[in-house]
Amino acid sequence: MKTSKKQFDDLFKEKLKTIQFEPSVAAQEALLKALKRNKINLVKKTWGKLSFVLILVSTLVYFQHQQEQHTDQAHYFQSQTRVDLFNTYPSSDFTRLFDLKQNNTQTQPSKPILAIVAQLQTNEQVTEKERWDPLQLTQKSIRPQLKSRTQQVAPPIQHVFEFEGAALIESKSSANQTLLCGQNKAQTKLIIAQSKIAKFSTDSVARDQESGVCRPVGFDENAVIQYTVFDKRSLFRRFQAENIHWGLVRTTKIAKPARNAEEEVAKPKAKTNKTATTTHTNAINPQANLHVHSTRQYVEPEYEEYSYNIKNDSLIFISDRVNFVVMMDAQGTILSKAQIEITEPYVYYLGEKRAYFDQSTGKVYICVATLYHFNFYELEPANGKTTYLFHLDDVWPNPEFQIENGKLSYIKNNISHQQLL
Amino acid sequence: MRNPIYLKLSKEDILRIQQQDERFLLKLYNDSFPLMMSVAVRYKNNREEQLTAVHNSFLKMLRSIHQFHLNSSFEAWILRILRNELIDEFRRTNKQSNIKFTELNHDIATEQFNFELLENAEPTQLLHFLNELPPASKIVFNLYAIDEFSIKQISEALGISIETVKWHLKTSRKTLRARISTLKPQANENE
């Protein structure tokens, strides 16, 4: 008698064995591909037929070759047939043919077929004008027209992209809004998002990971948003660290940290005994046994926030004190980094500096407060060099400058001013 | 109920396959596909994974076709290759750490199980329930209940202890019974 377990298993087995499957064409193709990939030699039975066809073709070629050889020597049957052909030729061209025969020594009367070919060739001869004129016409008509390539444009993402379900804070976008840079809600992460043409299926939400791809609900099905997430503080530290002059670090001395009492306790005793029994000890001068480290000191660069903006496909980061400029692409590769140089005109005192980004022109301007003026410069982000533009006649606290479409606008003493940059 | 699948191949066919004649290979593939697929669907959830397993074992079979003895069963030989392939893949992908001993709280006791439900159940439904099992339990149940491996053989093949095999068997049976019990009983035609 079957136990309930056995009965269950047997019934289950019987049931499952009734399911039937049919091989699809796609499965067969996949198998054939796998066979080719695995280099399994298959014997195709079509070779027998193919060899028969090859023999047949080669015999035909051989016979044709033989026939061509015999045509060089005009024989009786050949001339008979060719005469018929000769008679059918238009009689009006006989005089021309006769002249041609006399002129052309190569054509022999015993070879009427060659005479006909020569005649045909002479009839087909055309003048230079005849040759080129129709050709030009046909070439003109046939010449293919260049078709403009319909390039797919990635859709804008400024109002679409959300990081962990929330819109980005302090977001800046490129002119076509396909590249976006902003911060998360807690302002700890810097997110760079870029829309790309792609059709693969992916997540709908951007998650907190190093990099990823998402397609928000309702977004274009032919596009995705590729995003990279940076830890803001470590990214700006990286900018800062890369601006340190290495010569300065080499010469600064790093102090040996004082050892704690706890570490002393944690140190195994055996090790201390071992050092005491080394052969290199100097019994006469115990001071000589001490391994003296040169005192070194490492000064960590002060953390500084960076403001950011987007120009074409690259991001421009300018430090808060407008001393450094860094250009980075959307994937985090630093394209250039430079110290902002303000040299001309010579100014005895440089006060607060501010950077302004003109979204419409993509240019970066710097305003520097001096003792008597506000000086305006145009910055080259790639090398940090500045070009002096002009200065305002006065200097006042908390100015509110705005730069748009190459125009500087500000309010002073309740009067609005505008000036072309 | 449909008949179970059997592979019918003559010795001449097998000799042709040993010569790797492309036409006979495709014939063999078409003949053996239902049989292999019926096994692969029990072990793999994904259609692509099922096809990959079938193709891989088919390629293995072609590579070692010269080792096949004409007097033995070709069907059993193919299925052994396929099962070994599936077990190897399980051992490659599912390490010991992946086998989780999760307690299942099903109230359906063994005595209460209604076998009529199982008899009336659709095979595809049962396959669906089987695919819902955790990978380790699924392979153990497949090997024991359907492919008729002994518990010792399973423990050796999968590299797990006999107790673990028994636990998986018990758990999978329990889960399957619980899932089958959720099916509605078919209404009596006379009523």
**What mean pLDDT is predicted for residues A212-222?**
84
Q: Tell me the mean pLDDT in the region B28-49.
A: 83
Using the Cβ of B145 and the Cβ atoms of chain A, whether some distance falls under 8 Å is answered with yes
The strand ranges marked E within A184-269 are 189-197, 211-214, 223-231
Contact assessment for residue A42 and residue B22, using Cβ atoms and an 8 Å cutoff: yes
CB pair distance less than 8 Å for A43 and B126: no
Asked if B37 lies within 8 A of A21 by C-beta distance, the reply is yes
B144 DSSP 8-state letter: I
Rank A83-87, A318-322, B18-22 by mean pLDDT and report only the highest: A318-322
Q: Which residues of chain A neighbour B145 with C-beta distances below 8 Å?
A: 8-9, 12-13
Q: Which residue has the higher pLDDT, B115 or A190?
A: A190
Cβ of residue B110 closer than 8 Å to a chain A Cβ: yes
Predicted interface score ipTM higher than 0.85? no
Residue B144, sorted as left (phi over 0), alpha (psi -120 to 50) or beta, turns out to be alpha
Chain B: nearest CA to A200, how far in angstroms? 18
pLDDT digits (tens, 9 = 90+) for A92-130: 444 555 555 555 544 455 566 677 777 777 666 666 666
A406 to chain B, closest Cα gap in Å? 59
Euclidean distance between CA atoms A204 and A185, whole angstroms: 19
Considering only CB atoms, which chain A residues are within 8 Å of B4?
A: 17-18
Helices marked H in A214-331 = 232-242, 246-251, 261-266, 269-276
Contact B119 A11 (CB under 8 A): yes
More confident residue, A232 or A87: A232
Q: Which of B7, B27, B29, B63 to mutate to test the interface with A (most CBs of A within 10 A)?
A: B29
Q: Cβ separation of A4 and B177 shorter than 8 Å?
A: no
CA distance B171 to B166: 8
A chain contacts of residue B30, beta-carbon cutoff 8 Å: 23, 28
DSSP 8-state secondary structure symbol assigned to residue B80: H
Does B16 contact chain A (CB < 8 Å)?
no
Structure tokens at B82: 């396929």
Nearest CA-CA partner of B76 in B36, B27, B38, B23: B36
Average pLDDT over every residue of A199-205:
82
**Rounded to an integer, what is the distance from CA A397 to the centroid of its chain?**
47
Q: Which residue has the tokens 């005089």?
A: A95
Gap between the Cα atoms of B92 and A285, Å rounded: 64
DSSP B146: I
Give the pLDDT of residue A316: 92
Across the range A274-293, mean pLDDT stands at 51
Sequence-ordered list of residues with C-beta below 8 angstroms from that of A127, at least 6 positions apart, any chain: none
Provide the pairing of β-strand A415-420 with A334-339.
unpaired
Task: Report the chain B residue with the minimal C-alpha distance to residue A7.
Answer: B115
Asked if residues A243 and A339 have their Cβ atoms less than 8 Å apart, the reply is yes
The 10 Å CB-count burial string (b at 16+, else e) for B148-167 is ebeeeebbebbebeeebbeb
Closest Cβ opposite residue B110 in set A4, A13, A21 = A4
Average pLDDT, integer, range B123-144:
86
Q: Nearest CA to A14 among B118, B151, B70? A: B118
Our measurement of the distance from residue B125's CA atom to the centroid of its chain's CA atoms, rounded to an integer in Å, reads 15
Closest-approach residue (CA) in chain A for B109: A4
Q: What is the pLDDT of residue A252?
A: 47
- Strand residues in A211-359 grouped as ranges (E): 211-214, 223-231, 306-311, 314-319, 324-329, 334-339, 353-358
- Which residue of A13, A18, A42 is in closest CB contact with B2? A18
What angle do helix axes B151-158 and B162-181 make, rounded to 10 degrees?
110
Q: What is the mean pLDDT of residues B146-170?
A: 88
| Residue A21 clears pLDDT 80, i.e. is over it | no
* Contact between residue A341 and residue A388 where contact means Cβ atoms under 8 Å apart: no
The share of chain A scoring above pLDDT 90, in percent, equals 5
What are the residues whose beta carbons fall under 8 Å from the beta carbon of A38, sequence distance 6 or more?
B59
Residue type, B157: A
Contact: B118, A31; criterion CB under 8 Å: no
Q: What is the mean pLDDT of residues A232-237?
A: 86
| Average pLDDT of every residue of chain A | 73
- Contact state of A41 with B127 under an 8 Å Cβ cutoff: no
Residue from the list A12, A35, A43 with its beta carbon closest to the beta carbon of B118 = A12
Residue A158 or residue A368, greater confidence? A368
In the predicted structure, residue B178 carries a pLDDT above the cut 60: yes
Cβ-proximal residues to B177 (8 Å cutoff; 6+ apart), any chain: A8, B106, B108, B110, B113
* pLDDT tens by residue, A124-153: 666 666 666 655 555 555 556 666 565 677
Q: Does B108 touch chain A (CB under 8 A)?
A: no
pLDDT of res. B102:
46
Q: Tally DSSP H helices, then E strands, for chain B.
A: 9, 0
Contact A34 B59 (CB under 8 A): yes
Using an 8 Å CB-CB cutoff, list chain B residues near A17: 4-5, 38
Our separate counts of H helices and E strands in chain A read 11, 16
Angle between the N-to-C axes of helices B22-43 and B74-93, in degrees from 0 to 180, rounded to the nearest 10: 50
Query: Tokens 């078709």, residue?
Result: A147
Q: For residue A181, list its beta bridge partners.
A: A172, A192
Q: CA nearest B39 in A: which residue?
A: A17
Residue with tokens 């240019």: A363
The pLDDT tens digits for A37-67 are 765 555 444 455 566 677 778 888 888 777 7
User: Is the CB of A19 less than 8 angstroms away from the CB of B38?
Assistant: yes
Q: Residue A416: what pLDDT?
A: 84
- Give pLDDT, residue A364: 92
- Which tokens belong to A290? 């001490």
A340-375 burial, b at 16+ Cβ within 10 Å, e below that, comes to bebeeeebeeeeebbbbbbbebebbbbbbbeeeebb
